[in-house]
Structure 1
Amino acid sequence: MSLSAKNKYYLKRILPFGIIWLAISLLLLWSDYAVLADQSQVDEWVIPITPTIFVFSSVSVFIVGCLVGAIEVFAVNKLFDNQSFPKKIIGKFLLYTTVLFILVFILYLIAASIVSKESVFSKSVWNQYVQFFTSITHVSTWVQLLFSLLVSLIYAEVSENLGQNILYNFFTGRYHKPVDENRIFMFVDMKDSTTIAEKLGHKNYFKLLKDYYRSFSDAIIKNYGEVYQYVGDEIVITWNLDDGLKQNRCIQCFFEMKTALEKQTQNFEKKYNTIPNFKAAMHFGEVTTGEIGALKKDIFFTGDVLNTTARILGLTTELKEDILISEPLSRKLETSEDYSLENLGTKILKGKTKSIQVCAVHYLS
């Protein structure tokens, strides 16, 4: 049974926490073992590093890392959404310290129970914990845990700010050298954005944009889309050609974004006294993808497909359509009973010498 796109997305966000914690713990565990090679000379409250304890500690640390990641992704990150980077790190640091205190207490008792082969509720195991709690070893353990926590939280902030898959692509070197790819691009533009901005003022308009973009998140994730960039009130979403065409995900994404925004109608009306809407254009073609920039590195797409898609978007107002796609893309889509395609003929695109056939997509409710 395969995981859904949404579950894969969250798994990709959570697993790095477990990997970071495991990598740091193995490094520090090796360091401790090297210093305390003679396990018979250590204090009785220090858990000896046996094969069983090594496996237990490795699995435990990985699970704790993943647990921190899950809490971060599903709950804590939202609590600090509007805070500055220093406030986020300090606030989260204090919150997770409480969680880790409880986990250290539980895991130490279990490890001591495994070594002594006594119940975790036995007096000797609890006495051992009391000795551990007042020892320098306990302080050392917390230094290691808090270092792992700090590294994973910084990773989370960097990853979130860079965007989907960007950090992974940088580490793997996927785009260190330019790569030619076939991709689908969808340009999404808010309708009447200038009027809305003037009505709300720049601060409230900014808040509206945050809520507006947030409402699209699940639809984009579910349909395997990647956010390429935000440009004011415009968002550019891209797919690898095969991923976007499978089950018509690129088209499905648009309609699910529409549905998600409609569900937020009351929220927008209450907070901003306005209901945003959007139009979109879609096209596919070959692009060259690579890292670009001297002062700031970024993943960059270049190719005629981007310019063409932007020009098709410009036709949506003239043709009074919410979504237009290029006729070449329409021929690659799977047959569907959910929507119909209407060929609107050949159109001359502003600033281009070549014309292109465009199609409107109508949802069949």
Structure 2
Amino acid sequence: MSLKLSPKVKRNLSRIIPFGIIWLVSGWVFWIVEQAAAGNSDQDQSSRIAMNFEVFLFSSAALMIVGLLIGTIELLYLNQVFSKKSFTKKIVYKTIFYIVLLLIITCITYPIAKSLELDISIFDQRVWDMFGDYLTSITHLSTDIQLATSLLASLFYSEISENIGHGVLMNFFTGKYHTPTEELRIFMFSDMKSSTAIAEQLGHIKYFELLKEYYSDFSEAIIQHSGEIYQYVGDEIIISWKYEAGVVNNNCIKCFFAMKKDLHKRAEWYSSHYGITPTFKAGFHFGKVTTGEIGELKKEIIFTGDVLNTTARIQGLCNPLNVDILISGDLCQSLTLEPEFKIQSLGKNELKGKEQNMELFTIKD
């Protein structure tokens, strides 16, 4: 029986694995440099671990495991714990945490590696005597520099990934969209209702704080239904799916209703903190887009194609038609919705800038 991973687990694994690779590669680089430097050194190297095949395998495995551990802690725990801290406080707290963690890891891995090198028990007194010498040696300082470099590289990756999106970062690394590519994609344009009135009521600063919470509440639903955030535009969020990922299990439609459900769960919290409960509307369509890197001073991966303009026009009809969700007829035909979803045709509607009218549908769960 094959193991089927949820979109959230797949996403987390794809974000954590690079940590292990960063630690492994940087460890190999430092080992090569250290071996070259040690060959020309007259210092007592008794505390330094000589590399043999067993030690190399253990060290490589340990580096990979430590990297994966750091990635797991960073992405699944520390990012949430320190998400509302200032950048400076975040760095200080994380540094203290990782210093303690790496010290513990050193106290575990060094005795094991030394016992493998000498082919003696880890409980042999010689191992612990050498461990004491190691803690005050230049080798220990070199190892600390290696660990610090690996940590900084992995944290840098984490911050960049968090800011521009893991998928976008990986696409930049692989050069997937360096040459423009044509893709079939589904788009959802989601817009907060009465956003102008809410902004006037709250003021700019408090409205911005509301937007942060509002977007944050959508994250889980988007991840669970394989969505990709394309852009935040004021109070509007544009979500995209590759066609296959969007239609399988009706992910694109279920994402909308999951977003509504998660927002509804916090209705009382929004009411007590801001005096309002935000709601939203959304338009759906799909079609071919050209995807590619663009920009000189600031590079982005963007989509171009008529489908984006059409989806925006569809979303703009939600208010006139008094519905929260509108789906193009083309997309509706591509979905096989469960009985729990009630589909209603709203007839053919005129879209601004379009010569032909388009049949639109709404859905109620």
Same fold (TM over 0.5): yes
Deviation at 1:199, TM superposition (A): 1.7
Please give the TM-score of this superposition, normalised by the length of structure 2: 0.95
1:204 aligned partner: 206
Q: TM-score, normalised by structure 1?
A: 0.95
- Aligned letter for 1:357? E
Counterpart of 2:74, as a letter, is E
Tell me whether 252-261 or 335-344 shows the greater mean CA deviation.
Answer: 335-344
| Higher mean displacement: 182-191 or 155-164 | 155-164
Counterpart among 134, 137, 148 of residue 136 in structure 2: 134
Q: Residue 330 of structure 1: which of 312, 329, 332 is its match? A: 332
In the other structure, the counterpart of 1:107 is 109
Residue 293 of structure 2 corresponds to: 291
Q: Which amino acid aligns with 2:332?
A: S
- 2-side partners of 1:8 and 1:31: how far apart? 35
Question: Do the aligned partners of 1:89 and 1:153 also contact (CA within 8 Å) in 2?
Answer: no
C-alpha distance in structure 2 between counterparts of 1:346 and 1:93, whole Å: 59
* Alpha carbons of structure 1 residues 2 and 39: separation in structure 2 relative to 1, 3 Å: farther
- Cα distance in 2 for residues equivalent to 1:83 and 1:194: 29
**Per-residue deviation, 1:311:** 0.5
Helix, strand or coil: the match of 1:331?
helix
Q: Distance in 2 between matches of 1:16 and 1:93?
A: 20
- Please report how far the alpha carbon of residue 118 of structure 1 lies from its aligned counterpart in structure 2 after TM superposition: 3.5
The corresponding residue for 1:15 is 17
Structure 2 residue aligned with 1:232, among 213, 231, 234? 234
2-side partners of 1:222 and 1:150: how far apart?
Answer: 30
Q: Residues of 2 paired with 1:164 and 1:29: CA distance?
A: 29
One-letter amino acid of the counterpart of residue 143, structure 1: I
Measured in 1, the distance between the counterparts of 2:44 and 2:289 equals 61
Q: What's the secondary structure of 2:334's corresponding residue?
A: coil
CA distance in 2, matches of 1:114, 1:93: 31
Structure 1 partner of 2:343: 341
Unaligned 5+ runs, structure 1 = none
Deviation at 1:119, TM superposition (A): 3.5
Distance 2:271 2:112 in 1: 54
Q: What letter corresponds to residue 148 of structure 1 in structure 2?
A: S
Deviation at 1:78, TM superposition (A): 2.3
How many residues align? The count is: 363
Find the partner of 2:6 among 4, 14, 17: 4
Kept in 1: contact 2:51–2:117 (CA 8 A): no
Task: Please say if residues 282 and 324 of structure 1, whose CA atoms lie closer than 8 Å, have aligned partners that are also in contact.
Answer: yes
Structure 2: segments with no counterpart, 5+ residues: none
Percent pairwise identity = 48
Deviation readout 1:285-334 (Å, 9 max, x if unpaired)? 11111111121100111111110110111111111111000011100002
- Secondary structure, aligned partner of 1:313: helix
Q: CA RMSD in A?
A: 1.8
Deviation, structure 1 residue 114: 2.1
Q: Deviations over 1:189-222 (max 9, x none)?
A: 1111112112221111111111111111111111
Which has the higher mean CA deviation after the structures are superposed, 222-231 or 74-83?
A: 74-83
- SS across alignment from 1:119: coil
